[in-house]
């Protein structure tokens, strides 16, 4: 399968959000990645429903909602109603992860689980068959423009090995510090959805950078 590109709205210019959403619409981006942070699960607060509504009004591509919040069950319906295509919850935030994953699916969204850099891939073994996607965090969640953690290559390969055994169609998304310099190696390791914030939005030409990420071959 060809890999997908999901530019991260966290790195967009919020004073020109419509312009940046339209840039993504007119690019080779596949999804738009939407980071929700609550100041509890992660040490930062980003945005929520009013911004999702504003993005949804203009977006012509699926919105990939990444919830970096405690007790995400409280808000799954609101994000589904707000137009999420996929909803990612964190393994570390969900004591009843199986129930949470089923709830996401019942709402008609693709269900994904994210793991922080310190969380072993093997912990996904008993849930991976129920998932549409695993998100491997390649930075500690909370901020854009952080340095990529090299152990992520191994982590992705470990998730891919589990997927080969239990869920061959699983998507593996990588999020944090992704750029044109590491994209090929991430895809070679087994990732097939690349989130990119800073590397896209701080580029001279974001549209061309998205195209370059999309055209990466291994
Ligand atoms: C980090 C977020 C990422 C972030 C990635 O907590 O989950 O989606 O936007 O940004 P970059 O690509 O700048 O590392
Ligand atoms: Zn994210």
Half-sphere exposure at residue 169, Cβ-oriented, CA atoms within 13 angstroms? 5
Q: From residue 27, how far is each of 6, 103, 210 by CA, in Å?
A: 11, 32, 7
Closest ligand 1 atom to 138 CA: 14
- Tens-digit pLDDT profile for residues 8-63: 999 999 999 999 999 999 999 999 999 999 999 999 999 999 999 999 999 999 99
Pocket test for ligand 1, best of 47, 55, 143 (most atoms within 8 A of CB): 143
- For the chain, report the end-to-end CA distance as a whole number of angstroms: 12
Number of domains in the chain: 1
What domain range is 128 assigned to?
Answer: 4-214
CB 123 within 8 Å of CB 159? no
Pocket test for ligand 1, best of 55, 176, 178 (most atoms within 8 A of CB): 176
Burial class (CB in 10 A: 0-12, 13-18, 19+), 180: middle
User: Domain holding 94: CATH number?
Assistant: 3.20.20.70
- Tens-digit pLDDT profile for residues 156-215: 999 999 999 999 999 999 999 999 999 999 999 999 999 999 999 999 999 999 999 999
Q: How far apart are CA 203 and CA 131, in angstroms?
A: 33
Closest ligand 1 atom to 137 CA: 7
CA of 33 to the centre of ligand 2 (A): 7
CA of 177 to the centre of ligand 1 (A): 7
Angle among Cα 51, 55, 56 to the nearest 5 degrees reads 115
DSSP 203: S
Burial class (CB in 10 A: 0-12, 13-18, 19+), 201: buried
Q: Is 61 helix (H, G, I), strand (E, B) or coil?
A: coil
**pLDDT for the residue 1:** 80
Half-sphere exposure at residue 183, Cβ-oriented, CA atoms within 13 angstroms? 23
Count of all residues that appear for the chain in the document:
218
Verify whether ligand 1 is closer than 6 Å to residue 175 (CB atom).
yes
- Tens-digit pLDDT profile for residues 99-121: 999 999 999 999 999 999 999 99
pTM: 0.98
Q: Let me know if 175 is a catalytic residue.
A: yes
């Amino acid at each position: 399968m060809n890999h997908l590109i999901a530019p991260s709205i966290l790195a967009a210019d919020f004073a020109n959000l419509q312009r940046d959403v339209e840039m993504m619409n007119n690019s080779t981006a596949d999804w738009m990645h939407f980071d929700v942070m609550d100041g509890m699960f992660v040490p930062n607060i980003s945005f929520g429903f009013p911004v999702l509504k504003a993005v949804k009004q203009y977006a012509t591509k699926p919105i990939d909602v990444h919830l970096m919040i405690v007790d995400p069950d409280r808000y799954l319906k609101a994000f589904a109603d707000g137009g999420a295509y996929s909803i990612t919850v964190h393994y570390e935030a969900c004591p009843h992860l199986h129930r949470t994953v089923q709830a996401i699916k019942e709402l008609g969204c693709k269900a994904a689980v994210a793991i922080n850099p310190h969380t072993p891939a093997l912990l996904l073994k008993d849930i991976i068959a129920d998932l549409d996607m695993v998100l491997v965090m390649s930075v500690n969640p909370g901020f854009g423009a952080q340095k990529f953690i090299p152990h992520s290559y191994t982590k992705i390969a470990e998730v891919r090995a589990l997927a080969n055994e239990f869920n061959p169609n699983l998507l593996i998304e990588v999020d944090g510090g992704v750029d044109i310099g590491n994209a090929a190696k991430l895809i070679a390791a087994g990732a097939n959805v690349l989130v990119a914030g800073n590397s896209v939005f701080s580029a001279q030409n974001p549209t061309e950078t998205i195209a370059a990420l999309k055209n990466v071959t291994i």
